Structure 1
Amino acid sequence: MEQLIFFHDHIMMILMMIVTTVSYTMIMLILNKNIDRNLLEGQMIELIWTVTPAMTLFFIATPSLRLLYLMDEINNPMMTTKAVGHQWYWTYEYSDFNDMEVESYMINQEESNQLRLLDVDNRMMLPSNTFIRMIVTSTDVIHSWTLPSTGVKIDGTPGRLNQASLMFNRNGLMYGQCSEICGTNHSFMPIVVESMPINMFIKWM
């Protein structure tokens, strides 16, 4: 997630430079009263406005490609978890710990002190400051396991295992939802991850 934030700042800096340059050029052209009716072409200016966008795209694409590889790379994960999408709930498997499996359903809206359409009966518990391999699949239709606050979105496809690397830098609750239209109750299969210190996670297991 930290690398995504750096990439966002990098892109915003380039966009601000482009907006500033284009705005300045437009204002100067509007205020300029001198018109050369005999000017039909300018090879130098055409070369500049061809090379400059190409170089700009290069500076955008280079960190973007690097980030794609970083997101797929697993840095010696300490544990592996698996999320399986169903119509319309999630199951979480902790294969490193005696094949433990937890079913996660959305909590009834009538229950008090709960976030509407976001809280579940069994949260996914994960340790913080730990490299985790996250595997996502599905048993019926295409689902998508998404945690917006961490920048993670993994499609769950029947018959296929998709993976990503996770590492939470802080403890707390993170909320998400299925991000793929998967049927009638697509809106009612939320995701809640509770990140905790590794010693508390071991006690929970």
Structure 2
Amino acid sequence: MATWTYMGFQDSASPLMEQLIFFHDHIMLILVLITTFVGYIMFMVLMNSYIHRYMLENQTIEMIWTIIPAIILIFIALPSLRLLYLLDEVNNPSMTLKTIGHQWYWSYEYSDFLHLEFDSYMTPLNEMNSSGFRLLDVDNRVVLPMNTQIRIIISAADVIHSWTVPSLGVKADAIPGRLNQVSFLISRPGLFYGQCSEICGANHSFMPIMIESTSTDHFLQWISSSLS
């Protein structure tokens, strides 16, 4: 069986993650162009004595390669600050999900519905079916509606954890005695996986996150069946 090594981000499932990938790819393009140009200049300086003297003694050149990098940094900083603001903004959520990190599992509470809360443990290898994902499948997955603005309130019961789902562009620390919140919108149906991204003890790598994104009708049916 062929084995593929994936070097990039996971496929985006939210508008914020699409913006993060877009920003990353364009910044990498700028860095490649700068590296190529600087490498070419260094090579020419080493190989051509006239260019070597010109580069060392020309104040105009020194001003250019001081001002241009500053301008490039400004064009990198402005969109990054915009993205940081959007990642922290909680804008009129349609529903709220509360999650609490424990050693070593997650518990969830649907705050907009009465008496709907559960714990989510990693599925042991001997109980997993052949189509499951090792270290990622859970016994109780989080079901959320797509195309809905969702707010997640995050805390912890013991030590610091981190609730992270790469496909959604979400990463927030779960800190005992403190509530953090993030907001996102899932743009397509599917299963999305994450893990605790804070070293929280011996079983840190055994508390995965599994989100099932579905239509609003199917989500309401799931809510009804869970409450009954």
User: Could you tell me the TM-score, scaled by structure 1's length?
Assistant: 0.93
Assess, with a 3 A threshold, how the Cα gap between structure 1 residues 59 and 36 changes in structure 2: closer, same or farther.
Answer: closer
Match of 1:130 among 135, 141, 148: 148
* Structure 1: runs of 5 or more not aligned: none
Greater CA drift, 83-92 or 33-42 = 33-42
Q: Which residue of structure 2 lines up, in the alignment, with residue 200 of structure 1?
A: 218
* Structure 2: runs of 5 or more not aligned: 1-16, 224-228
SS in 2 for 1:110: helix
Write 1 or 2 for the structure with the bigger share of helix.
Answer: 2
Mapped to 2, the partners of 1:5 and 1:61 lie a distance apart of 16
Give the drift of 1:16. 2.3
Assess, with a 3 A threshold, how the Cα gap between structure 1 residues 61 and 33 changes in structure 2: closer, same or farther.
Answer: same
Q: Which residue of structure 2 lines up, in the alignment, with residue 118 of structure 1?
A: 136
Give the drift of 1:58. 0.5
The C-alpha deviation readout for 1:58-79, integer Å capped at 9, x for no partner, is 0110000000011111221110
Give the drift of 1:38. 9.8
Of all paired residues, the percent bearing the same amino acid is 62
Q: Given that residues 194 and 210 in structure 2 are in contact (C-alpha distance below 8 angstroms), is that contact kept between their aligned partners in structure 1? A: yes
Greater CA drift, 179-188 or 30-39 = 30-39
Q: Which residue of structure 2 lines up, in the alignment, with residue 182 of structure 1?
A: 200
Report how many aligned residue pairs link the two structures. 205
Match of 1:83 among 99, 102, 110: 99
Give the drift of 1:39. 8.3
Aligned-residue CA RMSD (Å): 1.8
Q: Which residue of structure 2 lines up, in the alignment, with residue 107 of structure 1?
A: 123
Q: Which residue of structure 2 lines up, in the alignment, with residue 92 of structure 1?
A: 108
Q: Which residue of structure 2 lines up, in the alignment, with residue 61 of structure 1?
A: 77
Mapped to 2, the partners of 1:127 and 1:67 lie a distance apart of 24
Greater CA drift, 162-171 or 39-48 = 39-48
SS in 1 for 2:182: strand
SS in 1 for 2:126: coil
